[in-house]
Amino acid sequence: MHLLVKGTSGRLTGEALVPNSKYHAHRALILASLAPGVSRITGLSDARHVQYTVGLLRGLGVKIEIEGDTFIVHGLGGTYRPAKDSVSAGSSGTTLYFMIGLAALSEKDVVVTGQKYFQRRPVGPLLRSLEQMGVELESANDCPPISVKAKRPAGGHVTIAGTLSQWISGLILLAPFATGKTVIEVQGELNEQPYIELTVEMMKQFGLKVSFSPDWRRFEIEPNQQATTCDLVMPPDIGSAAFGIAAAALHPSDILLRGMNQLSGGPADHPEVHFLDIAREMGVPMELTDEGVRISHDGIRLKPAAIDCRGIPDMLPILSVMGSFADGETTFSNIAHVRLKESDRVSAMLQLNQMGGNLDLDGDVLRVRGIDQLHGAKLSSFNDHRVLMSLAIAASTATGESTLTYPNAYRISYPTYLEAMNGFGIPMTVEGGTPSRATRGHRKLPKEAEHPDLAAQLTLSDWLTRWATERPDDVAVIDARPRATNKITWGELDQQVNQVASQLIRLGVQPGEPVALQLPNWTEFVIIALATMRIGAVCCPLMPIFRQREIAFMLRRAKARVLFVPDTFRGRAHAEEIAGIVNGDYGDVPEDLRHVVVLPGDVQIGADWSPGDVSWHDWSDLLTGDVDTQALADRKPTPDQTAQLLFTSGTTGEPKGSLMTGGTLSRAASMEIRHLGLDASDAVYIPSPLAHQTGFLYGMWVAMTLGVPEIIQAVWDPRRALQALREGEGTFVQAATPFLADLVKAVENGEEAPGKLRIFVATGAAVPRGLAERATRVLGTAVCGAFGTTETCLGALSVPTDEPVKVWGTDGRPLEGIKLRITDDNGVVLAADTEGNFEILSPTKFQGYLDRPDLTAEAFTEDGWYKTGDLGIIDESGYIRITGRVKDVINRGGEKVPVAEIENLLYEHPSVDDVAVVAMPDDRLGERACAFVVAKSGSKISFDEMIAYLDDHQVAKYYWPERLEVIDVLPRNAAGKIQKFLLREQAKGLKPQRVGGKQ
């Protein structure tokens, strides 16, 4: 996708409304948030960076409303009340720099973070200065995220480099709220002084006093000040108007810039007002009228200028374009800190030389010599809004066409830029949009990926080798950590897999031998799983939620030689727990375990963690040493080898280890790809645990078969999930129903919807029809019902093109090559639309349960069909609808209660957020139904209200739940399935209720 700009030699005509000043808006919003009472800030700025300030302030508990073209800010009087533990500055440096210190004025500790590239933006000098003022904060590398303690600063003597005015402004904004006097001294060269002058002037508007020296290098601020409310009107944004002025200067023009009300002024008017002086000095014929500034001429040649960038650094990009058409040499001095902006703007503008320009970098001076003509070129904007807009103005003067990357960067500061330029007669269009799904990146889906028989001949290692060879620099994994996003390419992934695989061989891992890993959704999980399978060993993922006794049992059963665990994760000391297992604290010691590898790296191995024959290793140890190419070649796996050992949750007995071959898993992935029409344009988002089949197969394996990025997330947070989906352009998700419900709620509460998400396959539990309908509307994605098991992979799946009643009201239809049937308790196949035992015949069935041939035999009928343990109905079109588990059947005096139907109906009650219906023992009838309900926030539901609701919906009285238990949350396993056995335990001893409150 790029911005296409066609050179034009015609006269520019028309008019454009200059947007309001974002510089004033940032400061006004922040100052208003600190005043007790209501301030009105008229003149909305729709610049994205201002929206980030609004969002962060809202995150700190500030109520900000929009009425017409006015922000209405309900200030908190100097104490923020954050609703959550972290707030984001998005991609706005201004927001970040201003708010790090001010976050200390909160009632509780808060983390200030931002978009991914901010995690590489050092702010050490600002942090040190804030610490001098008494702000207590923590940062791992002097970059966001930054943890700020809720404690009003003490003031004191503070020094700060004069590099960035926003750092100085951030200190000045905070100082009046300190408990003691603050003195701020600027060291070294002072840049961007007008921006500091604007900060002080606007603080004055809100009743805050700042004393400053004549050279603006020393500030004295008295403590314990109180901001006052203020109503302000935002002036026009001269930084945005500059692009219209430049365009009009370089073409014969007759244009009007509406809203502009000055041709010169002071810093309080606008920090970039000096641009107007320079433009007039260069010969731009600007006339101030009652409507705005008009520029009219039949063609002019500009004059060169000498520009000191310390005052207006952001104007270098557009002024360098104007200088390219001046008679003589235009110089830009003191440019060093211009190279510290969103991009290195000096180097970025040297691209004008590719168009025939004459720019030369001479130390701290940029020299631009005027030329007669530019020609079209392929240019990069470096995702910098000012670079994009400036180069686009240059391209408008060129012969031919020019293209620019990151075409939407202008939205950061000047959302109506394209509209204005096209209105003047400069053709600018965003070309390409989202590439066609079949050809994004000029890639076609390999035929093996969508033909299951061909896919079954390949292992996951084959796919990795292919993508690492064909596209080594493309992104393979996007790891969305809570406070950072890490990426790894196919080439990097392949290299690290080979490294770890070689080390596993050195540790003695044999073909067909399980390697256990109890890890969350980290990139390291993917590396270890692939490394294990690359040497013909068996990947044995263990859910991070499993505790010591379960892990000890699984390690004994798997007989794994090597185990990978995190040092700590989500408050649990996993490595210490494993040490306890090895010490025999939880039953018999896993005798085959010889090596434990602790992640993430640089972990201090406990002195008491090495009893017996077990050796402990740090993860970094496995990323060193030579790759044994010959050993890897000798251990190349075949599709018929066992590749996966996956333990079931064990909710009905001891965990069972399900064995799968690599060829079977490849076939299963291809079957879903074919069924849904997934292709090389997709990106797979994986919130489900990689240690569960949903995440492992229908996340990681599908993504690697397609050769597309997999976006993994270890700690579930719907806001972070939406951010990861947007940034990674995720298109496909297969996950449990609660993940879908949380995403819908987050968007309904004001979060931005994911722009590219098109399919959400909901598994683990039936999707309530009301939720599916809301998700389709709110998320803009198709929601598809599905049914699968660890032992058979997906058996049924709907597709987005199915009738809504099928997509939302069923668990799908069989995938190609799979057969479904319903039988009675005697094995007799039942007719369509009859409830019975649900059974599957599939080419993707497992090899059996590890060391349990008895349980394997019990899982199949005599004629080879897998018994799911579910009750279901298959309609005449072949769609399956799961009606309950065999063990969940409620037999009320000989009459079976339709559990799934009652649950679906109750879910749509306006006060119900989640629901499960289970059997409640009864002496007379054997069983009665008990409804466990999670009420929506702020809502209540009583037993009488539930009965009235069911009565209104003409539900037979026999089927009514005879007890209502309102609880905080339904117990679910990692796959999202409700653990009804726990609810049945709770229901024991409960008595039926009667309408009117009697039992």
pLDDT tens-digit readout, 373-382: 999 998 888 7
Residue owning tokens 């973070």:
113
pLDDT at 708: 96
Show contacts of 959-962: CB within 8 Å, 24+ apart: 959/897, 959/898, 959/901, 959/902, 959/929, 960/929, 961/902, 961/917, 961/928, 961/929, 961/930, 961/931, 962/920, 962/928, 962/929, 962/930, 962/992, 962/993
* Average pLDDT score over residue span 628-639: 95
722 in a structural domain: no
- The amino acid at residue 485 is T
Residue 386, marked binder? yes
Q: What is the spatial distance between Cα 624 and Cα 627, in angstroms, rounded to a whole number? A: 9
Q: Is 923 a catalytic residue?
A: no
- 997: pLDDT confidence band, cut at 50, 70 and 90? low
For 436-459, the pLDDT digits (tens) are 333 344 467 888 998 999 999 999
Looking at the fold, whether 33 and 177 belong to one and the same domain comes out as yes
Surface-to-core class of residue 447, CB atoms within 10 Å of its CB (0-12 exposed, 13-18 middle, 19+ buried):
exposed
954 in a structural domain: yes
What angle do the packed helices 548-558 and 574-582 form, to 10 degrees? 60
Strand order in the sheet with 615-618: 615-618, 595-599, 562-566, 514-517, 538-541, 642-647, 657-661, 848-849
For 848-862, the pLDDT digits (tens) are 999 999 999 999 999
Owning domain of residue 319: 2-7+236-418
Looking at the fold, whether 58 and 173 belong to one and the same domain comes out as yes
Show contacts of 53-57: CB within 8 Å, 24+ apart: 53/25, 53/26, 53/29, 53/89, 53/92, 53/94, 53/95, 53/98, 53/99, 54/29, 55/88, 55/90, 56/87, 56/88, 56/89, 56/90, 56/95, 56/99, 56/112, 57/29, 57/30, 57/33
Residue owning tokens 């997906």:
794
**Residues whose CB is less than 8 angstroms from the CB of residue 626 and which lie 6 or more positions away in sequence, other chains included:** 502
Looking at the fold, whether 204 and 240 belong to one and the same domain comes out as no
How much helix, strand and coil, in percent to the nearest 5, is found in the chain? 35, 25, 40
Evaluate if residue 864 carries a pLDDT over 50.
yes
Hey, what are 318's tokens? 């557009």
Surface-to-core class of residue 519, CB atoms within 10 Å of its CB (0-12 exposed, 13-18 middle, 19+ buried):
buried
- 61: pLDDT confidence band, cut at 50, 70 and 90? very high
Q: What is the spatial distance between Cα 619 and Cα 598, in angstroms, rounded to a whole number? A: 6
Inter-residue contact 588 to 551 (CB < 8 Å): no
Handedness of CA 276, 281, 282, 283 (dihedral sign): positive
Residue 93, marked binder? yes
Query: SS3 string of 23-87?
Result: HHHHHHHHHHHHCEEEEEEECCCCCHHHHHHHHHHHHCCCEEEEECCEEEEEEECCCECCCCCEE
Domain total of the chain: 4
971 in a structural domain: yes
- The amino acid at residue 448 is E
* Average pLDDT score over residue span 97-101: 96
pLDDT at 40: 95
Query: Within 13 Å and on the Cβ side, how many CA atoms surround 993?
Result: 19
Evaluate if residue 117 carries a pLDDT over 60.
no
Give the CA distances from residue 233 to residues 42, 65, 67, 198, 264, in Å, rounded to whole numbers and listed in that order.
5, 16, 14, 15, 19
Residue owning tokens 């300030």:
53
Q: Which has more pLDDT, 989 or 344? A: 989
Q: What is the spatial distance between Cα 917 and Cα 900, in angstroms, rounded to a whole number? A: 8
pLDDT at 62: 96
Q: Which is the catalytic residue, given 109, 237, 269, 314?
A: 314
Looking at the fold, whether 505 and 638 belong to one and the same domain comes out as yes
**Residues whose CB is less than 8 angstroms from the CB of residue 140 and which lie 6 or more positions away in sequence, other chains included:** none
Looking at the fold, whether 135 and 209 belong to one and the same domain comes out as yes
Evaluate if residue 922 carries a pLDDT over 90.
no
* Average pLDDT score over residue span 76-98: 91
Residue 121, marked binder? yes
pLDDT at 259: 86
Give me the percent of the chain exceeding a pLDDT of 70.
93
Q: What is the spatial distance between Cα 709 and Cα 712, in angstroms, rounded to a whole number? A: 9
Hey, what are 476's tokens? 């393979």
Residue 341, marked binder? yes
User: Domain boundary residue among 636, 662, 688?
Assistant: 662
pTM: 0.54
What angle do the packed helices 460-470 and 490-506 form, to 10 degrees? 130
What's the CATH code of the domain at 909? 3.30.300.30
586 in a structural domain: yes
Evaluate if residue 894 carries a pLDDT over 70.
no
Give the CA distances from residue 972 to residues 542, 739, 798, 837, in Å, rounded to whole numbers and listed in that order.
17, 12, 24, 23
Residue owning tokens 């994994």:
477
Residue 549, marked binder? no
Residue 27, marked binder? yes
Looking at the fold, whether 362 and 407 belong to one and the same domain comes out as yes
Looking at the fold, whether 270 and 328 belong to one and the same domain comes out as yes
Give the CA distances from residue 358 to residues 178, 279, 322, 667, 784, in Å, rounded to whole numbers and listed in that order.
51, 20, 12, 59, 58
Give the CA distances from residue 76 to residues 49, 61, 665, 696, 835, in Å, rounded to whole numbers and listed in that order.
22, 8, 56, 47, 60
The phi and psi torsions of 869 (rounded to 5 degrees) equal 80, 5
Closest among 865, 904, 870 to 887, alpha carbons compared: 870
Round to the nearest angstrom and report the end-to-end CA distance of the chain.
67
Residue 166, marked binder? yes
Give the CA distances from residue 895 to residues 568, 902, 926, in Å, rounded to whole numbers and listed in that order.
50, 14, 11
Looking at the fold, whether 207 and 280 belong to one and the same domain comes out as no
742 in a structural domain: no
Query: Within 13 Å and on the Cβ side, how many CA atoms surround 438?
Result: 3
DSSP 774-827: HHHHHH--EEEEEEEETTTEEEEE--TTS-HHHHHHSS-EEPTT-EEEEE-TTS
pLDDT at 42: 92
979 in a structural domain: yes
Looking at the fold, whether 462 and 592 belong to one and the same domain comes out as yes
Q: Which has more pLDDT, 693 or 882? A: 693
Helix (H) or strand (E) holding 575: helix 574-582
749 in a structural domain: no
Hey, what are 991's tokens? 């008595």
Closest among 533, 592, 603, 602 to 563, alpha carbons compared: 592
pLDDT at 766: 63
pLDDT at 830: 94
Can you list the alpha helix ranges (DSSP code H) found in 84-141? 93-102, 124-133
Summary mean pLDDT of the chain: 89
**Residues whose CB is less than 8 angstroms from the CB of residue 653 and which lie 6 or more positions away in sequence, other chains included:** none
What's the CATH code of the domain at 26? 3.65.10.10
Q: Which has more pLDDT, 721 or 884? A: 721
Looking at the fold, whether 179 and 92 belong to one and the same domain comes out as yes
Looking at the fold, whether 276 and 352 belong to one and the same domain comes out as yes
Query: SS3 string of 249-275?
Result: HHCCEEEEEECCCCCCCCCCCCCCCHH
Give the CA distances from residue 430 to residues 228, 317, 391, in Å, rounded to whole numbers and listed in that order.
45, 21, 15
Strand 514-517, strand 538-541: pairing = parallel
Q: What is the spatial distance between Cα 551 and Cα 302, in angstroms, rounded to a whole number? A: 76
Residue 845, marked binder? no
Evaluate if residue 777 carries a pLDDT over 80.
no
Hey, what are 537's tokens? 């060993």
Inter-residue contact 307 to 333 (CB < 8 Å): yes
Closest among 258, 234, 236 to 423, alpha carbons compared: 258
Lowest model confidence (mean pLDDT) among 187-196, 222-231, 455-464: 187-196
Closest among 388, 379, 378 to 412, alpha carbons compared: 388
For 197-244, the pLDDT digits (tens) are 999 999 999 999 999 999 999 999 999 999 999 999 988 889 999 999
- The amino acid at residue 278 is I
Highest mean pLDDT among 608-617, 708-717, 737-746: 708-717
Looking at the fold, whether 342 and 451 belong to one and the same domain comes out as no
Query: Within 13 Å and on the Cβ side, how many CA atoms surround 698?
Result: 32
716 in a structural domain: no
**Residues whose CB is less than 8 angstroms from the CB of residue 290 and which lie 6 or more positions away in sequence, other chains included:** none
Strand 218-221, strand 182-187: pairing = antiparallel
